[in-house]
Amino acid sequence: MYRTDELVHALNIRDLTDPAQGPHAMQLLIADLEAALDHPQEVRHHPLVPVEHNYEHLGYPPDAITRDARYTRYVSETCMLRSHTTAMIPPALRRATPDVTLICPGLVYRRDTVDRLHTGTPHQLDIWRISNEPEELTGLIDTVVTTLLPGKRYRTIDAQHPYTTHGKQIDVEHDGEWVEIGECGLAARHVLKDHPHGLAMGLGLDRILMLRKGIPDIRLLRNGDPRIATQMLDLDEYRAISRHPAAIRDISIMAAAHEDIETLGDQIRALTPEDVIEEITILSETPAEQLPPHVQQRLEAKPGQKNVLIRVTMRAPERTLTDRETNEIRDRLLQGLRATAP
C-alpha cells in the first residue's frame, strides 16, 4: 500500500492535460481532437478511483497480472491510483447520452521501465464513441491518427483487451520503425451495459506529442528550463538545446527473486526525485546460491534472493551533472535499495 508521503507526492504531479494547471502543448492535441470528433464531451475525474472501476467493471479477471501490487499503486484494498484513463469510463457511461463521444484525458500511475520513452506517470486519453447505430472503427482510427499525427503512415494489428471485442493496436511509422500509440476495439457489452453500441480507444499522449514535435526524451515534456518549457506551449518542431554528457554508474544489490526492471525502476524513481535518471538497465541477474561463498558473505545474501547488477544512466537535460552529484545519487540508490531488500 502507498505511504502517505508517496500518495501526496503522486497527487502533486502536474497533469499536463489540465488547463487549470497551466498551458501545455498536450492540451492543443486534445483541443484539435475534440474539434474533429462528433459530439465530444470531456470527462475528468480525480485520479484516486475505486478498484472496481479500474478492473472489475472493465472485465479484468481476478488473476490478471496487472492487478499485482508490484504493478498497481493501491492506496487501500478498495482504492487505487488509476492505472489507465479507462477507469473513468464506467461512471461516465452511467450519465452518458445515447449519442456522445466521451473524451477522458489525465495522468495515470504505473510501474514501468526507466528510459527516454517511459515514465511511471504517463498521460493517457480515452475516446469512447457511444451511438444508437453501429459505426466503423476504421473511421475513428483514421480521424484520430490524421488529426494528431498528420502525414504519418499508420497500421493496425489484432490485439486483445478485457473491455473490447475485435481489438486492435494502433502503430505509426516513425524513422522507419513502427511505434505503438494506442489500442482500440468495439466496446464490450459488459462495459456498455444499457448503451446499444460503442467504439473504445485508449491513446498514449506523451508518445504522440513526442512524435508530433520530434521530442527525443519524455522528461523534456515537463522540464522547467525556459529554453525547453517555452517550446512545450505549441505543436511546432522541437529545437534541441545543447546535449549534456551522460554519467553512468553501475550498482550491485541483492533483491527478491521476483523483482524486475519495472519494480526496481519504480524504487529508483522514488529515491531520486531529481529529473536526472535517463535510463536503467539490468546488466546481469545471479541467484544467491550461484554466487561464490565470499561474495554471498560480503553481500549478506539470503535464500530466495538474487544479485542484480544495474546500470544507471544519468543526464540532466539543461546542465552537466558533476561527479559529486552522480556519486551522491549512486550512494543514495545503494542505501535505499539495500534497505528495501527482503
CATH number at residue 186: 3.30.930.10
pLDDT tens-place string over residues 212-253:
999 998 989 998 888 899 999 999 999 988 678 889 999 999
Average the pLDDT over 282-296 and give the result: 92
230 is a domain residue = no
| Stronger pLDDT, 62 or 270, i.e. the higher one | 62
> In this model, does residue 209 exceed pLDDT 90?
yes
pLDDT above 90: percentage of residues in the chain = 72
Looking at the 3D structure of the chain, how many domains does it have? 2
- For residues 195 and 288, state if they share a domain: no
- For residues 28 and 141, state if they share a domain: yes
- For residues 323 and 281, state if they share a domain: yes
Nearest residue to 101 via CA among 80, 123, 118, 126: 126
- For residues 137 and 271, state if they share a domain: no
Nearest residue to 274 via CA among 236, 316, 327: 316
CA distance 70 to 76: 14
Question: 17: buried, middle or exposed (CB in 10 Å: 19+, 13-18, 0-12)?
Answer: buried
- For residues 43 and 150, state if they share a domain: yes
Q: Are strands 197-204 and 123-131 parallel, antiparallel or unpaired?
A: antiparallel
320 is a domain residue = yes
- Cβ within 8 Å of residue 104, ≥6 positions away: 42, 43, 44, 45, 85, 86, 88, 89, 92, 125, 126, 127, 128
pLDDT on residue 69: 86
Nearest residue to 104 via CA among 116, 93, 117: 93
Here the cell at position 313 is 544512466
Provide the pLDDT confidence category of residue 274 given band limits of 50, 70 and 90: low
- For residues 9 and 141, state if they share a domain: yes
Spacing of C-alpha 262 from chain mean position: 12
- For residues 135 and 28, state if they share a domain: yes
Q: Average pLDDT, whole number, for the chain?
A: 92
Q: Which domain holds residue 287?
A: 247-340
pLDDT tens-place string over residues 103-147:
999 999 987 666 777 788 999 999 999 999 999 999 999 999 999
CB-CB contact of 25 with 17 (8 Å)? no
pLDDT tens-place string over residues 17-56:
999 999 999 999 999 999 999 999 999 999 999 999 999 9
> In this model, does residue 263 exceed pLDDT 90?
no
Average the pLDDT over 189-211 and give the result: 97
CB-CB contact of 124 with 109 (8 Å)? no
- For residues 116 and 208, state if they share a domain: yes
CA distance 166 to 187: 9
Half-sphere exposure of 290 (CA within 13 A, CB side): 9
- For residues 155 and 276, state if they share a domain: no
Average the pLDDT over 161-168 and give the result: 96
Any idea which residue has 480521424 for its cell?
A: 143
- For residues 54 and 144, state if they share a domain: yes
Q: What angle is formed at CA 264 by the lines to CA 258 and CA 265, rounded to 5 degrees?
A: 140
CATH number at residue 335: 3.30.70.380
User: Residue 116: in which H helix or E strand, if any?
Assistant: none
238 is a domain residue = no
pLDDT on residue 338: 83
Domain boundary among 194, 213, 232: 213
Spacing of C-alpha 131 from chain mean position: 29
CA distance 232 to 213: 9
pTM: 0.80
- For residues 21 and 97, state if they share a domain: yes
Provide the pLDDT confidence category of residue 273 given band limits of 50, 70 and 90: low
- For residues 20 and 141, state if they share a domain: yes
